């Protein structure tokens, strides 16, 4: 018959999470397999406490248990399965209690949870490289970029094992591979990191001469990759396995390239759209016609309709930034700006003066004609001509 979880932990039904944690820690200490080698009963008690804790420390599971008891787990509770996600919780709990470096003990108990430290090695660190690139490179991408970064790489001589040729690492005899040893302090037993192997659970009897057993060496390494077309300010590119080498067979970390994009004098980016100012002569706005407009992909001819307002924004479809992870590009928006000539030849000046001469009804021609160009309200209200 299975014991009630509250009974197992020795707490009341109203116990707070903190009380539940404390009760579990006390039991975990007492029945820890490391402190009770070969004691099957202690191991059972330890598992029982761990199971009770896994349920009562989870508010949803606890509520379910309060309501339905063991029926909630199907039958008599014999089929109870540990949620593997609980391992991390256990390790963290014990880590904070035993002063870091748990893992091995639980891996032993529960048949490995992925984070086993003893003998399993550690994954290398992730690295980040800040990369400033030109606006042009952000639009078109770079097919083959090469950078050189300082990082810890696996030692070539020992291929990262840290062992001299023909030898291999051995299970630490001091902690039997657990990475931790029990130390008695008064009447308390504490698990501390094994001083012989420093928690690795392994020792290297004859270290590799190149890396002195570290398995890794510092060096400057060239890394090549592709900058995708359309990358934006602050985006990160992940290069899997290009971070630092792991130890003892643990995989390499990742390298993240963080992009910082130089401003462009002409273009402003907004998502995948681009904006730029476009100078245009007012006669072209008045009469309409073709306007050659610069885009990142070359010059495009943009049609200007007759009587286009001077502050119009013209969309050039598909002339924006390439969309990352999909097809096509954003759009380019041309914000029109009337080009006013500062120097006029005698003939040109005469022509402009003619435009300012009073019209047939005594109103300056400007009211009807130039207003179309410059968008004057006055001109819109008075429809004289």
Residues forming contacts to Zn ion in the complex (CB under 5 A) are 155, 157-158, 172, 174-175, 194, 196-197, 208, 210-211
Q: Which is nearer to Zn ion, 94 or 332 (CB)?
A: 94
CB of 104 to Zn ion, least distance (A): 10
Does residue 163 have a known ligand-binding role?
no
Does residue 175 have a known ligand-binding role?
yes
Q: Give the span between the Cα atoms of 128 and 27, in whole angstroms.
A: 43
Structure token pair of residue 234: 């602050």
CB of 152 to Zn ion, least distance (A): 12
Q: Which is nearer to Zn ion, 86 or 247 (CB)?
A: 247
CB of 208 to Zn ion, least distance (A): 3
Structure token pair of residue 223: 């890394």
Which among 233, 197, 229, 184 is positioned nearest to 329, based on CA atoms? 229
In sequence order, what E strands does the chain have?
A: 127-133, 142-154, 170-171, 180-185, 188-193, 202-203, 216-227, 236-239, 255-261, 268-270, 273-281, 289-295, 298-304, 313-316, 332-339
Q: Which is nearer to Zn ion, 207 or 330 (CB)?
A: 207
CB of 82 to Zn ion, least distance (A): 27
Q: Do the beta carbons of residue 158 and residue 215 sit within 8 Å? A: yes
Structure token pair of residue 286: 């008045």
Q: Which is nearer to Zn ion, 160 or 243 (CB)?
A: 160
261-297 burial: b if 16+ Cβ within 10 Å, else e: beebeebebeebbbbbebebbbebbbeebebebebbe
Q: Give the span between the Cα atoms of 199 and 193, in whole angstroms.
A: 5
CB of 191 to Zn ion, least distance (A): 12
In terms of DSSP bridges, do strands 268-270 and 273-281 run parallel, antiparallel, or are they unpaired?
antiparallel
CB of 106 to Zn ion, least distance (A): 17
Q: Which is nearer to Zn ion, 206 or 240 (CB)?
A: 206
Q: Which is nearer to Zn ion, 49 or 214 (CB)?
A: 214
Does residue 158 have a known ligand-binding role?
yes
Residues making up the annotated binding site for Zn(2+) are 155, 158, 172, 175, 194, 197, 208, 211
């Amino acid at each position: 018959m299975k014991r009630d979880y509250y009974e197992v932990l020795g707490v009341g039904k109203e116990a707070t999470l903190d009380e539940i944690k404390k009760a579990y820690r006390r039991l975990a200490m007492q029945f820890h397999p490391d402190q009770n080698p070969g004691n099957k009963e202690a191991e059972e008690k330890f598992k029982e406490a761990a199971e009770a804790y896994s349920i009562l420390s989870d508010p949803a599971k606890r509520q379910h248990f309060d309501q339905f008891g063991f029926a909630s787990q199907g039958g008599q509770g014999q089929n109870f399965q540990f949620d593997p996600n609980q391992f991390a919780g256990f390790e963290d709990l014990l880590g904070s209690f035993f002063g870091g470096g748990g893992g091995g003990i639980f891996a032993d108990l529960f048949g490995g949870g992925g984070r086993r430290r003893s003998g399993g090695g550690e994954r290398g660190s992730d690295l980040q490289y800040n990369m400033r690139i030109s606006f042009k490179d952000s639009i078109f991408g770079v097919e083959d970029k090469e950078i050189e970064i300082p990082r810890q790489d696996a030692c070539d001589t020992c291929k990262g094992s840290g062992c001299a040729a023909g030898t291999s690492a051995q299970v630490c005899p001091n902690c039997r591979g657990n990475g931790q040893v029990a130390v008695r302090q008064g009447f308390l037993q504490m698990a501390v990191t094994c001083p012989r192997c420093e928690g690795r659970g392994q020792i290297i009897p004859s270290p590799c001469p190149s890396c002195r057993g570290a398995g890794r060496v510092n060096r400057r390494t060239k890394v090549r990759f592709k900058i995708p077309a359309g990358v934006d300010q602050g985006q990160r590119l992940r290069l899997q396995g290009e971070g630092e080498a792991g130890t003892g067979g643990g995989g390499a970390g990742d390298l993240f390239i963080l992009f910082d994009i130089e401003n462009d004098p002409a273009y402003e980016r907004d998502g995948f759209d681009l904006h730029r100012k476009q100078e245009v002569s007012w006669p072209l706005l008045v009469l309409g016609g073709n306007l050659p407009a610069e885009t990142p992909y070359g010059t495009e001819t943009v049609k200007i309709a007759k009587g286009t307002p001077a502050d119009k924004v013209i969309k050039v479809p598909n002339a924006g930034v390439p969309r990352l992870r999909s097809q096509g590009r954003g759009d380019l928006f041309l914000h029109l700006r009337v080009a006013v000539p500062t120097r006029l030849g005698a003939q040109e000046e005469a022509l402009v003066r003619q435009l300012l001469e009073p019209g047939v009804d005594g109103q300056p021609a400007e009211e009807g004609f130039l207003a179309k160009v410059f968008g004057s309200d006055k001109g819109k209200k008075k429809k004289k001509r």
